[in-house]
A and B are shown apart, each in its own frame.
Chain A
């Protein structure tokens, strides 16, 4: 096994353990912190697989922006410290684990009988310059569509998140003056 293989398996273990911890924590804050570790491991995996620009974006967008939004949400919303459940702690996990195991066995079997399952991948690196040139030369239309999507998401979030007391403010000020 080469050096890169060892790095890959260590990263895989880190990714699986931190994701499993994030999924199973009952305290939301701990779940989000473990998820940040999981996203850092994913960023390193991206770098190992030859996508340094995407590794940077993974840290900036996922571990930075999205997780900060989750943290703010958890800190501002009033909610129970621990999740309330109808039955026991493990009962809701039974069916996901059963179906997940079946899917995983089928996936592994398909990968195992598929062509070229034993061939190690060659190391390659797509420089950010090549990546940007590819994006804006071949995929310029999806980039425009994504910019529209981000604008629609911004408008939707602003619309849904606007406060209820927007209309009350003038009445409060008139009460003060009167």
Chain B
């Protein structure tokens, strides 16, 4: 016997909100990507807990695909960061204001 499912779900929620806050509050592009990674990780925790709760393997399968999506997302994201830092010389999200948005 471990703990109730709700405790694991709330833990995943707290970690997800930390990642969301990181993506919202930080202004460095790499920290924004790290926030997205934390959010995907928290979703994985919720999926594995749900897989144990209902005794279905589908939740664990989902986590496998979340990992693949996270890996490809971070590869493309870091390549984009290199690209924009070559073009503009900065990785600060506040300094991309060419469109004056």
**Residue positions of A touching B, CB distance < 8 A:** 2, 4-5, 8-9, 12, 15-16, 19-20, 22-23, 28, 31-32, 35, 38-39, 42, 45-46, 48-51, 53-54, 57-58, 61-62, 65-66, 69-70, 73-74, 77-80, 83-86, 92-93, 95-97, 100, 103-104, 107-108, 111-112, 114, 116-124, 126, 130-131, 134-135, 138-139, 142, 146, 149-150, 152-154, 156-161, 164
Contact = CB atoms under 8 A, between A and B. Distances in A.
Contacts of B90: 79
Given A96-B24, A100-B17, A149-B69, A49 B81 contact: no
Contacts of A146: 65, 68-69
B50 to A, nearest CB: 10
B66 to A, nearest CB: 10
Nearest to B6: A111
B9 to A, nearest CB: 6
A42 B67 contact: no
Interface in B10-67: 10-11, 13-15, 17-22, 24-28, 30-31, 33-35, 37-38, 41, 44-45, 48-49, 51-53, 55, 57-58, 60-61, 63-65, 67
Contact of A35 (B8, B11, B38, B45): B38
Interface residues on chain B, size class? 35 or more
A103 B24 CA distance: 15
Given A23-B35, A131-B60, A161-B83, A70 B21 contact: no
B11 A12 contact: yes
A83 B3 contact: no
A126 B17 contact: no
